[in-house]
């Protein structure tokens, strides 16, 4: 490996001068700059970033941990984070947790990837107590609809409002029996999903039923889970005339089951998803869905982290709410 020292020797100058040239400092005579540059080119010198990082105390790497890259929402989000980070000269180390608490803990304790300046984490199972017990001191920004009593920046759209918007659309288009697909089992410690809460609030406001018989719990949030949840719902009792799925992949699974059962969408059952992944636009029955502003989410998360890293952020945790909108497609209003 070619080091600064080699270049300095070749150019007949001190290491510092080479460093100045490499880092583009002012106050280097053009002649000197050129001489050093020639030595650099001849030797094919490339700075050793590890050494620079050790010296500067930062690595230029931020980590992003999402539950599952197989879920297009997170894949698309990861792409946006990579782009946002690049604009700040940061590179992104990617990890996935499978939405398992132990993995989330590991990641947030920095065990898997301690070579990072900060972390953006989209947790599923993690608890507030886990966050409070965190010993790693690098900045952490949380993503998503879980709410925590812990002093960390948190970026999430208004999930309750978004869910209400989706349900209102179903109510407005004449649906009266609206189910929810994808609630996790509730417990005292783990607050119910905000999306589930929004579903319930809007139905209550409309005076429509919002009982447990209209809610299907699932283990995960993939297409298969959506398909099974839809089947369970249909087997369970009186058919709903609409379903609001936790996310688009589940909604796609629900469409699959409805097709298998010979039910028409939206005539028999309307379907609304959440995430607006590209796939939803191209589904056989294009999916009505909530579109979170993914670019804004990624940008805000990276900005927050960069502010923390620069020490320019306020002390108290930041709470940012990127926008969202309802995208109406055939799965609720038929061919227009």
Partner DNA sequence: CTGAAAGCGCTTACAG
Site membership for a copy of itself, residue 287 (CB under 8 A): no
Identity of the residue, 164 or 256, whose beta carbon is nearer to a copy of itself in the bound complex: 256
Among 118, 139, 253, 322, binds a copy of itself (CB under 8 A): 253
Contacts with DNA, 23-62, as mask; x by CB under 7 A: x--xxxx--x------------x-xx--xx-xxxx-----
Site membership for DNA, residue 9 (CB under 7 A): no
| Interface segment toward a copy of itself; rule CB under 8 A; list 29-37, 108-116, 189-197, 317-325 | 108-116
Site membership for DNA, residue 1 (CB under 7 A): yes
Among 33, 53, 134, 318, binds a copy of itself (CB under 8 A): 53
Among 28, 82, 217, 328, binds a copy of itself (CB under 8 A): 82
Identity of the residue, 214 or 271, whose beta carbon is nearer to a copy of itself in the bound complex: 271
The site that binds DNA (CB under 7 A) totals a number of residues, namely 27
Identity of the residue, 39 or 157, whose beta carbon is nearer to DNA in the bound complex: 39
> If DSSP states are collapsed to H, E and C, what string results for the chain?
CCCHHHHHHHHCCCHHHHHHHHCCCCCCCHHHHHHHHHHHHHHCCCCCHHHHHHHHCCCCEEEEEECCCCCHHHHHHHHHHHHHHHHCCCEEEEEECCCCHHHHHHHHCCCCCCCCCEEEECCCCCCHHHHHCCCCCCCEEEECCCCCCCCCEEECCCHHHHHHHHHHHHHHCCCCCEEEEEECCCCCCCCCCHHHHHHHHHHHHHCCCCCHHHEEECCCCCHHHHHHHHHHHHHHCCCCCEEEECCHHHHHHHHHHHHHCCCCCCCCCEEEEECCCHHHHHCCCCCEEEEECHHHHHHHHHHHHHHHHHCCCCCCCCEECCCEEEECCHHHHCCC
Residue 114 touches which of DNA, a copy of itself, none (CB < 5 to 8 A by kind)?
Answer: a copy of itself
Cis peptide before 25 (omega within 30 of 0): no
Residue 256 touches which of a copy of itself, DNA, none (CB < 5 to 8 A by kind)?
Answer: a copy of itself
Binding residues for DNA, per CB under 7 A? 1, 3-5, 13-17, 19-20, 22-23, 26-29, 32, 45, 47-48, 51-52, 54-57
Binding residues for a copy of itself, per CB under 8 A? 1, 44, 46-51, 53-54, 57, 59-61, 68-70, 72, 75-76, 78-79, 82, 86, 91-96, 110, 112-115, 135-136, 222-223, 227, 252-253, 255-256, 259, 278-279, 281-285
């Amino acid at each position: 490996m070619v080091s600064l020292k080699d270049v300095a020797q070749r150019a007949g100058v001190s290491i510092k001068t080479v460093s100045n040239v490499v880092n583009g400092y002012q106050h280097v005579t053009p002649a000197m700059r050129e001489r050093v540059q020639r030595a650099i080119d001849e030797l094919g010198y490339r700075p050793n970033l590890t050494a620079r990082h050790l010296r500067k105390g930062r690595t230029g790497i931020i980590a992003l941990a999402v539950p599952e890259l197989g879920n297009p929402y997170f894949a698309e989000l990861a792409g946006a984070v990579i782009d946002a980070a690049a604009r700040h000269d940061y590179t992104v180390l990617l990890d996935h947790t499978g939405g398992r608490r132990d993995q989330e803990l590991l990641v947030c304790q920095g065990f898997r990837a301690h070579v990072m300046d900060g972390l953006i984490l989209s947790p599923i199972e993690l608890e507030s107590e886990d966050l409070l017990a965190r010993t790693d001191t690098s900045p952490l920004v949380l993503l998503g609809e879980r709410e925590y009593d812990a002093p960390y920046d948190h970026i999430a759209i208004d999930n309750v409002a978004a869910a209400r918007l989706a349900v209102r659309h179903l109510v407005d288009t004449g649906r009266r029996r609206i189910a929810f697909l994808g609630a996790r089992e509730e417990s005292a410690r783990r607050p119910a999903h905000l999306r589930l809460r929004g579903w319930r609030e809007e139905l209550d406001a409309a005076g429509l039923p919002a009982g447990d018989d209209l809610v299907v719990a699932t283990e995960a949030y993939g297409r298969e889970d959506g398909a099974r949840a839809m089947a369970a719902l249909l087997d369970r009792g009186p058919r709903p005339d609409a379903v609001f799925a936790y996310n688009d992949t589940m909604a796609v699974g629900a469409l699959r089951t409805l097709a298998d059962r010979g039910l028409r969408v939206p005539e028999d059952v309307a379907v609304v998803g959440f995430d607006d992944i590209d796939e939803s636009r191209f589904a056989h029955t294009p999916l009505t869905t909530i579109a979170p502003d993914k670019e804004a989410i990624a940008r805000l998360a990276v900005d927050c982290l960069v502010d923390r890293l620069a020490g320019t952020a306020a002390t108290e945790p930041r709470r940012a709410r990127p926008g969202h909108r309802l995208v109406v497609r055939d799965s609720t209003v038929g061919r227009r």
